[in-house]
Amino acid sequence: MKRVKMVVVGAGVIGFSTAVCIAESLPFCEVTLVADQFSPDTTSDGAAGIMFVAQFPDIPLERQKLWFKDSFDHLLAIAQSDQAADAGVLLTSGCQIFREVPAQKVPFWSELVLGFRFLTERELKRFPEHCFGQAFTTIKCECSSYLPWLEKRFRKAGGKVQQRTVNHLQELGGTYELIVNCSGLGARTLVGDEQVHPVRGQVLKVQAPWIHHFIRDGDGQTYIYPGVHSVMVGGTRQEGDRRRWADPADSADILRRCGLLEPSLAKGKVLAEWVGLRPGRRNPRVEREVLVTEGNGRRVHVVHNYGHGGGGVTLSWGTALDALGLVKQCLREMVHPQARL
Ligand SMILES: Cc1cc2nc3c(=O)[nH]c(=O)nc-3n(C[C@H](O)[C@H](O)[C@H](O)COP(=O)(O)OP(=O)(O)OC[C@H]3O[C@@H](n4cnc5c(N)ncnc54)[C@H](O)[C@@H]3O)c2cc1C
């Protein structure tokens, strides 16, 4: 029987998560993933990959909680399996500290991470500039391992991969019956969404194997995240800044700020600097649209899943499942006989 031809644009953590969810759940679909950049050259590759996210203003909280929970449960299962090392997914414990008590002392994800509690007075003595803190165990998902792991899983489910640049979704409308757009920052040009904008982030990898616990300043600017091979220290959040090169002034400032939180970092060796452009957007766009093709006026369903800002790794599996739900809705409307969903 003829299979439904579907394409996913994007090979970052959002594209591959979505492609895996679709290929594994809908075996009657032929899924091709296309992208111009693959691992190790995507933004996802360099992300710290800590499961942690700020609240988006216009998405119902219940939906955001579900995105977080679905992602956390999925990655926790990997972290506790024999796949953990291959996939680059690990549990990590540490704290977030604040100079002033935040308006929301208990964030929405507090019951979804493990062992959330406030820091004690004794623990806070280590950070004399800070007066409040939260301790918890979360997950670190290192995409330089996770993306190749997801790609293998996608191919095993029958998915195909193609390297190409897509200039307009119209180019895909002739070949595919359904398009899933996971192009991250690329959506700005691909679908002309001016809400998507770069938020530059610079980080350093430091050899400091004695550091085992993460520390994050509540302002989101300064963090120390120990990982599998090194400690990631950061960072910057520069709205609208497209510079992809490491700025020595930013590196010096990052080391200074992180050194105030963890003075032993001064003994660490800087291994690398990295810059990535987060796909900033007021809210992630996880929704459907219909594209009418220019040639023959054919109606092609499009599912968008992009604009995750600084929380793309954290929300990747949850938004992928949401996108899968939208794909199923489209298939029902296409009244596809195989779509017994
Ligand atoms: C310094 C830094 C630290 C971060 N830390 C964290 C963290 O701790 N936790 C967290 O959850 N998130 C973190 N993030 C955010 C996270 O990296 C992003 O939210 C996430 O990578 C977005 O994934 P994506 O798949 O949407 O985009 P990308 O990884 O950028 O992938 C986009 C894909 O689309 C393709 N594409 C785009 N346009 C086209 C086109 N026209 N034709 C073909 N292909 C196209 C690209 O080639 C690429 O394959 C961090 C980001 C930075 C920069």
Task: Give the model's confidence band at 337: pLDDT under 50 very low, under 70 low, under 90 confident, else very high.
Answer: very low
Q: Is 339 exposed, middle or buried (0-12, 13-18, 19+ CB in 10 A)?
A: middle
Task: Quickly tell me which residue has 């949401």 as its tokens.
Answer: 322
**Residue 156 structure tokens:** 């095993």
CA terminus-to-terminus distance, the chain? 17
What are the boundaries of each domain within the chain? 4-90+140-196+281-333
Query: How many angstroms from the chain centroid is the CA of residue 101?
Result: 28
Quick: pLDDT tens for 88-127. 999 999 999 999 999 999 999 999 999 999 999 999 999 9
Cα–ligand 1 centroid distance for 185 (angstroms): 7
* DSSP-H helix ranges across 174-235: 187-190
Query: How many angstroms from the chain centroid is the CA of residue 62?
Result: 19
Question: Distance between CA 338 and CA 29 in Å, rounded?
Answer: 9
The type of residue at 176 is Y
Cα–ligand 1 centroid distance for 80 (angstroms): 25
Quick: pLDDT tens for 314-326. 999 999 999 999 9
Q: Whose CA is nearest to atom 20 of ligand 1?
A: 312
Cα–ligand 1 centroid distance for 168 (angstroms): 19
Mean pLDDT lowest among 135-144, 186-195, 201-210, 295-304:
295-304
CATH of 4-90+140-196+281-333, one of 3.40.50.720, 2.60.40.420, 3.30.1330.10, 1.10.10.10: 3.40.50.720
Question: Distance between CA 13 and CA 44 in Å, rounded?
Answer: 6
Task: Give the model's confidence band at 1: pLDDT under 50 very low, under 70 low, under 90 confident, else very high.
Answer: low
CA neighbours closer than 13 Å in the CB half-sphere of residue 187: 33
The type of residue at 11 is A
Closest ligand 1 atom to residue 185 Cα is 30
pTM: 0.96
Quick: pLDDT tens for 210-244. 999 999 999 999 999 999 999 999 999 999 999 99
